[in-house]
Structures are given as structure tokens and as C-alpha cells.
Structure 1
Amino acid sequence: MEDSIGLGHRRLSIVDLTDAGHQPMTNEDRSLWLVFNGEVYNYVELRQELVDRGHRFTSHTDTEVIIHLYEEEGERCVERLRGMFAFVLWDSRRGRLFAARDRLGIKPFHYYVDRTRFICASEVKALLEAPGVPRQADYAGLADCLFAGFPQSDRTAFSGIRQLPPGFSLIADRNGIRVRKYWDVEYQYNFTRSHAETVDELEHLLDDAVRVHCRSDARLGCHLSGGLDSSTVTGFASRHRPAMKTFSIRFEGGGSWYDETAFAKVMALSAKAQYHEAVPNGEDLANVLPGLLWHMEMPLPNPGGFSYYTVSRLAAEHVKVTLTGHGGDEVFAGYSAQFQTAFGTRPFPAGDAEPVPRIGRLTRAARFGARLAALGVAGTARRIKQRVRRELQTPEDLWISLHCARPPSQNSLLSRRLLTQLNGYSPIDDYISAFRSAPTDQMLDRCLYH
């Protein structure tokens, strides 16, 4: 605590497990104070650079690297950081609070502002403990969740509480709040490079990324689904972390489409890793769901959260840090919608599609019968014509149709009370803004940028 500033932190020790890594952390003259969530993977290189410039360290943490880098470069220090992070730094000499969130928003950063206070935290529930912070729903944020699965722009599901967008920094002082975008994707196309050179460079980049992610003084393992992404990460990690443990889940029923553990076991064997497996069921989902929603602080967009939580709970019994293949599909175009929007076709044969359970087929047939009875033959024919016309939609319309539900004004499941609260709000523009603003004219890259 200092005057009107208070910083608090609950530490998960990953780098330098000693008391020297406790937070809030300060510099030599106690003019800078930092609380930091996450990990800076290039802290070793940055630390050496700062030592060469005359800085003295009292710990071996990545946290202290941020403090000394800020002394050298001010708010532009965040542009040098390679990692996943959210942090707040109090600069007492300047009387300002400097905060930043990592490039892709892996670590959360929420804040609340009124006429007299700026309050921030990793979780919304911490902000709700502050007196005067409203415990009310943000109806636009909820409409975003129902439309796209998550709040758009800087909204959350809670009224008055915002999130700092990925790749943004923030300054709070007596002049108010200022937010700045410090990073964006840069596309540098090289059409002269050969296929072999591209493969070699990609392998180097992947190996280097996994190598620095393996920097941990705590025990480390890998989530391993048996798919391409997690298997690739596990393979590279085994180069730098021998005798790892891997963690997988298996669902009984559904056949081989839902069970890739055979591949996971082969990969674990190849990586000389110790294989661990969990087999959750419907009862586990029912037991976990309330707590999962409490942690997520928003409606669950898909069942994947249950799977991820289950395998993370298994991993927590053995290690403190895990690497995953999350983000691979977004970077390497692993989703059908990306190909369908960019090229007008799906990347996988129809025979490889997920099987539709018999009950699902019966439900679709019953639904069609109900529509036919309600609309009549002529009305049903008009509806089919409308659907055919949708094939001639713009890439933006196609992208939305492949990812989102109907907008609030067209969603018959929403109550009139909610629609009244929304007052005509539509999440479409906020949702598609990243697609529109992508700094490239290549359609597939615009899809990946979104």
C-alpha cells in the first residue's frame, strides 16, 4: 500500500521457487512495484542484456526482468516480452499505473473504473468484492455470448467491468485512462523461398518456441490428445525435457471418432514419456459444471471446457506446468470453416465428417416435419429458396454463418425483456471487425487473423 495505491498478488511459483520471487516486487529504490501473472519466456536473454547494461538482480525470476526492462525502455518494454502475461506496474515517480496484456490474450486482465477509482484483477470475482462495484449483468455481453460464444470488444458478461484487449497496454493516472495497441500481426510474404526452406524454418520456429516454453523450475508435462497439435508439441518438448509425463482423456462410447488415445499412447511411447489417462463420464460433467462456470465467469461456449478442465485436473496431480497444442488450428488452418470461407470448399472428405447419432437424425426429421406442418408446402419452398440464396453470400456473411447463432433481433429463443434491454444492439459489427481489419488481402490469412 502507498497513498491511494494498493497491489496484491497470489503467487504460482514457476521460475525461481525461492522467497526472492514473491510479489509485489520492487526495484532497488522502491520507486517501482510490480504484480505479474504469467511467464516471460525470453527472460534469460533479456536478463543478460540488462546485466550487461549495469542492472543488478536479487532474484532469478522473469518478474524482476520486467521491472528493470521498464527502467530502460518505459512502457515500450512490453514490446520486448515474449510470453503470456498480464501485469500492473506502479511508477511512483511519475504517479502512474502501467498495465499490459500479452499479444494473444492468454492471460486475463479485467478492470473497473468510476469517477474515483481504477480497480483491476485477473478475475471478475475479485472486482465484485470491492464495495460499490455493481453485481449486474451486461446484457450486450450476454448477447455476445449467445451469438458468438464469448463477449466482443472489451466487454465482459458483467456491467461496468471491462477487459484489456490482447496486445494492448494501459496507463492510469490523474489524467484518466489511456489504452494503446502495442502489437499486431505483420504479414511478410516470401514467394521465392523453396518448400524445403519453408519446412526447415518452420521446424526451427516450432522447436525454439517449445524450447523456451520448457523453461520452468517446476515439474512440467504435456497435454496429449493424440492429434497433430499436441503430438507435435510433445515431440519437440521431448527434445528438451526427457522423461516427461503426458496427460490424456478418453470418452467411452462413440467409437474411434471420439477416442484418439491409441494415437496418444504411440506418441507418448515415441517421446519416451510416461502416459497418464482419465476417463470422465456424464456424472463427472454434472459434478464439475457449477465449479467450471464459476471459474470461467461466463457461459460455457462448448463442451471443450469440460475436457480441458478434466485433463488439467489429472495433470495437477503430477506436475505444475503443462504444454498444450491449443492455438495450432488457429495458426495452421485446422478448421473447416477457414477453408470453406477462403476457398469455398471443405479441407476434409465428407466421409471423414463427425458421425451424426441416430437420435440426431430423428430429431432433424421431426424438426423438418414440424416446419412443413407450420409453413405449408409453399412456405417450406420459400424457406428452401432462401437457404439456397445464402450460398451467394459475401465472405463475411459466410464466416458469420459458420461460427455464430442468429443475431438477437432474429433469435426467437431470446425473451422480449432481454431484447428490450439490448435496445437494438447487434454484436455483428464487433464480431466481424477483426476479419475486416486484418492487415492482409489474403482471404485465408484474414480467417486466421480473426
Structure 2
Amino acid sequence: MCGFVGVFDLNKVPINLGCLCKMRDMIIHRGPDDEGIYIDHNLGLGFRRLSIIDVELGHQPMTTVDGRYTIVFNGEIYNYVELRTYLVRSGVSFKTESDTEVLLHLFAQKGKDCLSLLNGMFAFAIWDKEKRELFIARDRMGIKPLYYYADHERFIFASEIKAIIADRTIRREPNYPAILDYLSFMYIPGDKTFFKGIHKLMPGHYAIVGENKPLQIEQYWDITFNYAEKTEKQFVEELRSVIDDAVRIHLRSDVPVGCHLSGGLDSSTVTCLAAKHLQKPFKTFSGKFTEDEFYDETKYAKVVSKAANTTYLETVPSKSFFQKSLHKLVWHMDEPCVGPGIIPQYAVCQLAAKNVKVALGGQGGDEIFGGYPRYFFTYEKSTGFTKSINTQQAIEQSLLKKLANKFVFVKGYMKQHGIKTTIEKIRKNLMEHNNGTCSFEDVWRKYSSSFANASSVFSETLRTQLAGYNPDEAFFQFIRKDVTDDIFDKMLYHDMKAYLPGLLQVEDRMSMAVSLESRVPMLDYRIVELAATIPPHMKVKGLEPKYIFKKAIEGIIPNEILHRKDKKGFPTPINVWFEEDKEFVADILLDKNAKQRSLFDDKQIEKLIASSSAYSWALWSMINIEMWFKIFIDEDPRYVDSDGKAREEVARR
């Protein structure tokens, strides 16, 4: 796991070594073990390494013996052992045991077609000295990040945006449409970022740019829902085998490995299978909050730890930890994304990094197999308007079960969002149900919105910046793509393409902030492709969340975990913290700089702060946006040092 940056001057101007080194070292947290630079006149590559595979010899940038190809690579190729064997048989000689060299030789042999052979998480760039062309690519699911800036003079790319803007000639301008996307959904669909002119290379895509070739971006992989004619038993057996093998190859490492453990289905499965393959004690890392028993799932994590015979380690982040860490979280994230779960995730990663260099987690299972309540609420409201393969299953589901599931969801929602917000949401749902006017897209949009009335807090300044932009265009692009006729799988496809990349951004940044490699075996592409062949009426039989996945892991995890009904997803008590310290919120949203910026209406903010426990998620969104401006646009010395890096401490007024 590492970080890289590259500069390609299309006007053939020589690379500035000092600037390239500064850009590279802006992301030293991604790779404190080693560093490297490669310059070929107008092409420069910078690299920071966290040594995981072939610790001694895996130095980067790495160049082929003939000098033609040079690579910088962030991630892991889990099937590198098998690929290496294939390459050796075809006559390739290796100098190292690293997966980087395997990838380099595979590209030299097959070019872009090598991507279909890779099983891993990756972002990489390869310079072809002979053709004077640059090739960059990102893994199928977007586990590893890759950003770029392009104009008529330069193509600049990096693992994190902060490395790109370390070049002071690049203007730091806010991208207001992306900001509205975040306010609306708490993630940004598509390739936009908070920085105008800086884009993400989308998951499953590659790009080529040359001295005489304009930037060309192509998609090399997508999810296709081609339902197979197999029995439930056949699907279960195949799925169990693939999940088991995914965990097995994700354990490949030359340094100590542990597991993130929440006590949910996915992390428990990964932990129990890791125990099976390692056959020796290893460490697991969990977190909780003490504000209320609702915020503590560790009783389940301890059940799994005992069953897997792991060394159980736990952290308890507090309000003080949150307040001291917020500016660092925003800095590491590059741009706001997803909810306050980043706080405990950062704390657990800190704990893990003190004990291991690699940690496996359960990210991705909900999006692949249908684990979120909003899928079922959307489906239930939409089946009267859109015919679906699951309709018969919806009819068969008992009213009692529906009510029980909804009660659990509403109880949890109320804990996180407050009574007022919950009551208002229920009231709106009842009104819409009675009116009977909701289409599938209407309902999906509603259940995917994080701040439904965001425009109510906009200032005239922000309204002007957003004039003519409709976030629904970006939001509906994946729902409307012709990948399946079934609305349930349409929702899964949307989340795998739009929501999951946001979660993976958090996964990457919070682990890399503490120089920890985080692996997500549930996102092995073989699992994703297999799940896409399972018809929804088997995948969530009887509208049971993750039904087929649960059948596949029966006997692998403890029954107490398998039959859990209180899914929580690491809830964070920001509503409690904001209520206890309203001054902290006001210091960010109503200070001099915020008022001069005038993104939000001050009077509306004051009202939200006065009822902070009821509007905690809305405040969370605005706090993250304002803190982003303070750090990256203002470069406020209260939060960042003169070198552009986050301050270790911020003095409260």
C-alpha cells in the first residue's frame, strides 16, 4: 500500500525536481517506509512506499531491464503468485518477489489487456519511454484512489488530491456542483471532486495520454446482471467457495495481518475465515462509544473473537477525540464524503496500526447482497408502480415481519437523527403513501437523500453559484443505465457505482492516515460477478436482507451473529456531542471567515444549532464543507501548517 504522484508536461518542458519531491512528500503518510523518484525529461513520477510484499526489494518506481516501461503502483495484486508462475513459463525473469514486478511485466506483455487478469485493489501508472505515452488504471470497484488534473499543457495525477495541489501553479477553486451533490446525498456520484478541474478516474477505467495523443479514458469492466439458471443450493455452495478463497488470497503478506471486527455479518465472516486459513492467533480491532448502549456493538464482536480465537483489542473514541481529530480527518479525506462513521473508523485504524501493518475488513457486503433497509423500503413503496421479479416474494412476506424490521430501523434512526427529524420523516412518508404518486425513481431519490431540504439553509451567494445545476442528473445516471430490468438490482448497481466508492474513500484515507493497509476481501471481483448472476428472488428471498449470503456463511460464523436483527453500521453519537457543545459547532459555522464566505444563511444555522440533536446530520454536512474551505481554500493557520499539512493540535477559543 503506497502513494504516488506524476507530472507529464505535454509541451515537453523539463520536470521541476523540487516541486515533484514536494508533491510526493505531501502524502508521506501513505508510505513512510521508502521513497523514490523517476524523471524522463518531461515526465516525472514520485512514490512513497508502505512495504508489504517483498519488503527488501520492492522499491518503486520500478523499471524493466530494457528501460522501456516504468511503474508506480498503489495496492495489492492478490493473484500475483499465479500470474508470476504464468509469466515465468512464458520466459520472464524476475529480480524481486514483489507483485509490482509481476504487474510491470504483465503490462509489458499484454498492455491494457492485463487488467482483465488482475485480482486485487490497485491504482497504477506506467510510462512507455518508447511511445512517450502514459497509461493509468484503477481497480474494478474503486478500492484504491486515483485523481487527475488535465489541461493543454500538463497531465498531473496522484493517489490523493493534496499531492496535486501541492503544485502551487494549480488554482484551488471550489467546485460548487460537487458540494451540492455531497449536501444532497453525502457522496458525489461520478467523477467530480470538490476541486474545480480535478477529477477522479472512475472505478473500472483506464486512461492513456501521450505527447501526441490527447487524453483518452475507457471503461474496461462493468457489473452485468445475467441471471444464471441454478438452484439455491448451487448458488450457496459456489458463493461459499468463492468467499473462502477471497479471504485466503487476501491474507498474502510478508508483514503481520489482523482484522477489523464490528460484530456484523461481513467482518465476522472475514475474521472467522481468516482464523481458518491462518491457523494461528491474530489480532482483531473493534470500537464502541459509551454515550448509550445503542452505540456499543462490542458484545457481538467479542462473541466472534472468542469463536475465532483472536486477541481482542478495543478503542473507545470520545467527544474530545472527535473535536481534536476533525480537522485532520477533513485534511486526510481531501473532500467531505459519507457520514460521521469516519470518526470511529479513524480510531479503530489507529488502534490497528499500533499492532499490524495490514487489516482485513468487511466493506462491500451490503451493496453486493442487499443489506440496507432503504432497498426494501424503496422496493415496497415502488412495487405498486413498477413490476418486478420480486413482487411475489413481497406478497408472501408476513406483515408481522415487516413491522418488526421497520421498528428496528426507526428506533436506530431516531437514536442517530433525533426524535423531531424521525417524526418528520415518518409524517412525509405517510403523506406520500396516501397520495400514491411516487415512482420508483422518486422513492429511491428520497431514501438516498441525506439532507432533503438542503436549499433551506443556502445563502444567496451559494444559490447564485449553483444556478442551473440539478444534482438529480448525476444521481440518476446509474439507476437509468440499462444493466437490468429488476429494480432491486438497479439499486444495488447504483450503490456499487456511486455510494460504495465514497465508503471506500473513507476506508482508504482513514487507514492510510496512520500508514495501515486496509483490505476488503468481500469486494473480490469474483464475488461481485457471482452475486450479479443470482436472481433477486434468491438473493433476498422473502425480502430477507442478504438471504443468500447468510445461507452461504451458515456454520462459518456464530449463530448469534448470523441471526442478528439490529443492524447498525457503527453509529456515531454526533447528536449527543453537538448538543453538549454547541459552541464547538458555532465556532466552525459562524466564525468570521464562514460569515464572509456566506455559503449558508446564518439565521438558519443558528436555528439548527439550537436544536442540534434533531439536525445533527445536516450540521455534520455543513461543518465538513466549511472545514474543507478553511483547510484547502483559506489555508487557515489554525488548522494547517505553512507546508500545507494538518496541524497536530488546534487551540480552541
Fold-level similarity (TM above 0.5) = yes
Quote how far apart the aligned CAs of 1:254 are.
2.0
Give the aligned partner of residue 412 of structure 1. Answer: 456
Given candidates 246, 255, 280, the residue that maps to 2:284 is 246
What is the CA-CA distance between 1:358 and the residue it aligns to?
Answer: 11
Q: Give yes or no for contact 1:86–1:101 (8 Å, CA) kept in 2.
A: yes
CA displacement at 1:449 relative to structure 2: 0.8
Structure 1 residues 3 and 363: CA distance shift in structure 2, 3 A: closer
User: Which moves more between the two structures, 216-225 or 150-159?
Assistant: 150-159
Q: Secondary structure at the match of 1:120?
A: strand
Structure 1 residues 179-258: aligned runs within 5 Å = 179-191=217-229, 193-241=230-278, 242-255=280-293, 257-258=294-295
* Selected match of 1:16 from 54, 61, 71: 54
Q: Give the secondary-structure state (helix, strand or coil) at the position aligned to 2:480.
A: helix
- The residue aligned with 1:157 is 194
Mapped contact 1:438–1:449 kept (Cα < 8 A) = no
1:403 corresponds to 2:448: yes
Which SS does the other structure have where 1:7 is aligned? strand
**Which stretch has the larger CA shift, 227-236 or 334-343?**
334-343
Q: CA RMSD in A?
A: 2.3
User: What does the per-residue CA deviation read over 1:341-377, in whole Å, with 9 as the maximum and x for residues that have no partner?
Assistant: 2344769623323343599336777x89xxxxxxxxx
Tell me what 1:392 maps to.
437
Match of 2:108 in 1: 71
Query: Against the structure 1 CA distance between its residues 74 and 272, is the aligned structure 2 distance closer, same or farther, given a 3 Å change threshold?
Result: same
Worse-matched range after superposition: 40-49 or 346-355? 346-355
TM-aligned CA deviation for residue 152 of structure 1: 2.6
1:136-175 superposed Cα distances (whole Å, 9 cap, x missing partner): 1111111111111122321100011111001000001122
Distance 2:102 2:416 in 1: 57
Instruction: Give the equivalent residue in structure 2 for 1:323.
Output: 360
| SS of match in other structure, 2:49 | coil
Once the two structures are superposed, residues 170-224 of structure 1 have per-residue CA deviations (whole angstroms, 9 ceiling, x without a partner) of 0011221000000001223123x22222221111010011111111111100000
Q: For 1:84-106, what per-residue CA distance to the aligned partner results, in whole angstroms no more than 9, with x for missing partners? A: 11100001111100000011111
Structure 2 Cα separation of the partners of residues 128 and 336 of structure 1:
39
Residue of structure 1 in register with 2:483 after alignment? 439
- Give the direction of change, closer, same or farther, for the CA distance of 1:198–1:92 in structure 2 (3 Å limit): same
Deviates more, 1:194-203 or 1:318-327: 194-203
Q: Tell me whether 147-156 or 349-358 shows the greater mean CA deviation.
A: 349-358
Partner of 2:405: 349
Q: Which residue of 2 aligns with 1:60?
A: 97
Distance 1:70 1:236, change over 3 A: same
Structure-1 residue corresponding to 2:470: 426
Match of 2:419 in 1: 361
Contact 1:40 1:85 in 2 (8 A): yes
Give, as a single letter, the amino acid of the residue that structure 1 aligns with 2:245.
D
Determine helix, strand or coil for the equivalent of 2:371: coil
Question: Residues 230-273 of structure 1: CA distance to partner in whole angstroms, max 9, x if unpaired?
Answer: 10110111112221110000111322x32221111111111111
> Which residue number in structure 1 is paired with residue 168 of structure 2?
131
Kept in 1, the 8 Å contact 2:305–2:311? The answer is: yes
Once the two structures are superposed, the pairs formed by residues 39-50 of structure 1 within 5 Å of their partners are 39-50=76-87
Deviation at 1:406, TM superposition (A): 6.1
Return the offset for 1:14. Answer: 1.1
Residue-by-residue CA offset, 1:66-86 (whole Å, 9 max, x unaligned)? 111111111121121111111
Q: What is the Cα deviation at residue 43 of structure 1? A: 0.8
Deviates more, 1:390-399 or 1:260-269: 390-399
Note if 1:276 corresponds to 2:313: yes
Q: 1:102 to 1:339 in 2, by over 3 A?
A: same
The offset of 1:397, in angstroms, is 1.4
Q: Assess, with a 3 A threshold, how the Cα gap between structure 1 residues 46 and 385 changes in structure 2: closer, same or farther.
A: closer
TM-score, L = length of structure 2 = 0.63
Cα distance, 1:388 vs structure 2: 4.3
Q: What's the counterpart of residue 150 of structure 2?
A: 113
Partners of 1:438 and 1:235 in 2: how far apart? 37
Contact 2:266 2:365 in 1 (8 A): yes
| Cα separation, 2, equivalents of 1:348 and 1:336 | 12
**Deviation for aligned residue 1:384:** 9.2
Contact 2:71–2:104 (8 Å) recurs in 1: yes
Bigger mean CA deviation after superposition, 141-150 or 390-399: 390-399
Kindly tell me: are residues 407 and 259 of structure 1, through their superposed partners in 2, closer, same or farther at Cα, counting changes over 3 Å? Answer: closer
Whether the 8 Å CA contact 1:223–1:323 is kept in 2: the answer is yes
Q: Secondary structure at the match of 1:159?
A: coil
Where 2:207 maps in the other structure, the secondary structure is strand
CA contact (8 A) 1:222 1:234 kept: yes
Q: Decide whether aligned partners of structure 1 residues 12 and 363 sit closer, same or farther in structure 2, where only a CA change above 3 A counts.
A: closer
Larger mean CA deviation between 421-430 and 289-298 belongs to: 421-430
**CA shift in 2, pair 1:347/1:314, >3 Å:** farther
Distance 1:437 1:362, change over 3 A: closer
Q: Is 1:82 aligned to residue 87 of structure 2?
A: no
- Taking the aligned partners of 1:98 and 1:347, their CA distance within structure 2 comes to 53
SS of structure 1 residue aligned to 2:72: strand
Measured after TM superposition, the shift of residue 132 of structure 1 is 1.8
Alpha-carbon separation, structure 2, partners of 1:52 and 1:386: 67
In the superposition, relative to structure 1, how do residues 416 and 25 fare at CA in structure 2: closer, same or farther (>3 Å)? same
What is the CA-CA distance between 1:312 and the residue it aligns to? 0.6
The share of aligned pairs that are identical, in percent, is 41
The separation in 2 between residues aligned to 1:359 and 1:81, in whole angstroms, is 42
- Look up the equivalent residue of 1:278 and give its one-letter code: T
Q: How many matched pairs?
A: 432
8 Å contact kept, 1:110–1:124: yes
Structure 2: 5+ residue stretches without partners: 1-38, 382-393, 395-401, 495-653
CA contact (8 A) 1:336 1:348 kept: no
Question: 2:330, 2:142 → 1: CA distance?
Answer: 20
For 2:416 and 2:352, how far apart are their aligned partners in 1? 35
